[in-house]
Amino acid sequence: MFAGDHGVAAKGVSAYPAEVTAQMMTAFADGVAAVNVLAAAAGASVRVVDMAVDADTGEAVSRHKVRRGSGAVDVEDALTADETVEAVAAGRAVADEETDGGADLLVIGGMGVGSTTPAAVIASAIIGIEPVAVVGRGPGLDDARWMRKVTVIRDALRRARRVMPDPLALLRTVGGADFAAMAGFLTQAAARRTPVILDGLVTGAAALIAEEFAPGARQWWVAGHLADEPAHGLVLEQLELTALLDLDMRLGQGTGALAALPLVQAAARLLADMARLDQSGVTGEA
C-alpha cells in the first residue's frame, strides 16, 4: 500500500481532514485496520510505503519517501521533475524487493485523504471525459463538498491537458508521489511477470499511467472489484479489465482487491490441482 497526502485535501474535497492519513498509518502499523484484517484472513502480508505522508511515520515505512504532501494540483504541480522520477523508481524498487522476496502475487492499494481527486483528474485526462462524469461521493461526501471537488478537478484538468500525452509530465503536474510510485510498481511487476490485483479508482488511475509507460502491462493485472466511484468503471473499460467483484465498496486501501484475493487463489488452485474429466476416469459414457 502506497500512502501520500495531497494538497487538494485543504480545499474540502474529502469528508475527512488530511490528518487522517497519518492516523491511519498508525492503525496499519498496529494491525487493526480493515486492510490488516482482510490480509490476515487471506494469508497475505501487508507492506505500507510512505511516499508523501505529511507527518513523520518512522523509518520502517518512509525509506522511499520523497516529500511531505504533494502539491494542490488545481493550482500547482504535484511534484518536481526530480521527485517524479524518484517516486517512479521507488515503486519499481518495491516491486523488485517483493518479487525477489518470493511473492508470486501482488496486491496494490493506496491511502491518502483527497487521493480520489487526482485520480479522477488522471482518468479524465487520459480517457477524455468531463469532471462531472467522474466525480463520485467517496466515503461520506455531501453536496457542498462534491461541488468543490468538481471545481478542483475541472481546474486541475485544464492544467493536465497542457502536458498530454506525456505520462511522466502528467504525474508531475496532477498526480502525486504515491501515484508515481504505484505506476512504477505496476510496470515493474509486469516486467517481472508477476500478476497484480488492482484495488479501486486510485490504483486504477495509476494503472492508466503505467499502461501509458508500458503498453501491454495490463495483461498482468486483475481488477479485484468495481469501486463505488463513477470513474472506476470507465477506467476498467479503458484498461479492458473486468472486475471480479461488485460490492459497492468505497474504502480503498487495497480492501477491494484483498476481498477478491481468495477468489483468485481458488482459481489458481483449480487450474493447478483439479483433474480433467479424461484424467479422472469420467467419460460421460453409459
Cis peptide before 165 (omega within 30 of 0): yes
Among 82-86, 97-101, 137-141, the range scoring the smallest mean pLDDT is: 137-141
> Which pLDDT does position 122 carry in this prediction?
97
Is 281 among the domain residues? Answer: no
Task: Give the whole-angstrom CA distance, residue 5 versus residue 32.
Answer: 21
Is 194 among the domain residues? Answer: yes
Is 49 among the domain residues? Answer: yes
Q: Is 35 exposed, middle or buried (0-12, 13-18, 19+ CB in 10 A)?
A: buried
Per-residue buried b or exposed e for 193-217, using 16+ beta carbons within 10 Å of the residue's own CB = ebbbbbbbbbbbbbbbbbbbbbeeb
Model pTM? 0.94
Task: Give the whole-angstrom CA distance, residue 95 versus residue 258.
Answer: 18
- Given a cut of 80, whether residue 98 has pLDDT beyond it is yes
> Which pLDDT does position 204 carry in this prediction?
98
- State mean pLDDT over 220-227: 97
> Which pLDDT does position 208 carry in this prediction?
98
Interval 66-92: pLDDT, tens = 999 999 999 999 999 999 999 999 999
Helices (H), 193-279: 201-213, 230-239, 255-273
Q: What is the CATH number of the domain that holds 72?
A: 3.40.50.10210
- The answer to whether 239 and 221 are in contact (CB under 8 A) is yes
Is 145 among the domain residues? Answer: yes
Is 59 among the domain residues? Answer: yes
> Which pLDDT does position 40 carry in this prediction?
97
Interval 243-258: pLDDT, tens = 999 999 989 999 999 9
Is 37 among the domain residues? Answer: yes
Dihedral of the CA atoms 34, 187, 174, 123 (nearest 10)?
Answer: -80
Q: Within 10 Å of residue 220's Cβ, how many Cβ atoms?
A: 18
pLDDT level of residue 146 (50, 70, 90 thresholds): confident
Coil, helix or strand for 234?
helix
Coil, helix or strand for 198?
strand
Taking CA atoms, 245 is separated from 72, 126, 221, in Å, by: 33, 25, 15
- State mean pLDDT over 258-278: 92
> Which pLDDT does position 57 carry in this prediction?
96
> Which pLDDT does position 180 carry in this prediction?
98
Domain that residue 117 falls in: 2-272
- The answer to whether 178 and 21 are in contact (CB under 8 A) is no
- State mean pLDDT over 14-36: 94
Interval 169-211: pLDDT, tens = 999 999 999 999 999 999 999 999 999 999 999 999 999 999 9
Is 282 among the domain residues? Answer: no
Number of domains in the chain: 1
Among 36-50, 63-77, 264-278, the range scoring the smallest mean pLDDT is: 264-278
Is 126 among the domain residues? Answer: yes
Q: Which residue has the higher pLDDT, 131 or 35?
A: 35
Percentage of the chain modeled with pLDDT above 90 = 85
Longest Cα–Cα distance of the chain, Å, equals 74
Q: For residue 56, what are the β-bridge partners?
A: none
Task: Give the whole-angstrom CA distance, residue 184 versus residue 122.
Answer: 16
Nearest to 168, CA basis, from 65, 240, 77: 77
Q: What share of the chain is helix, strand, coil (3-state, %, to 5)?
A: 55, 5, 40
- Given a cut of 90, whether residue 282 has pLDDT beyond it is no
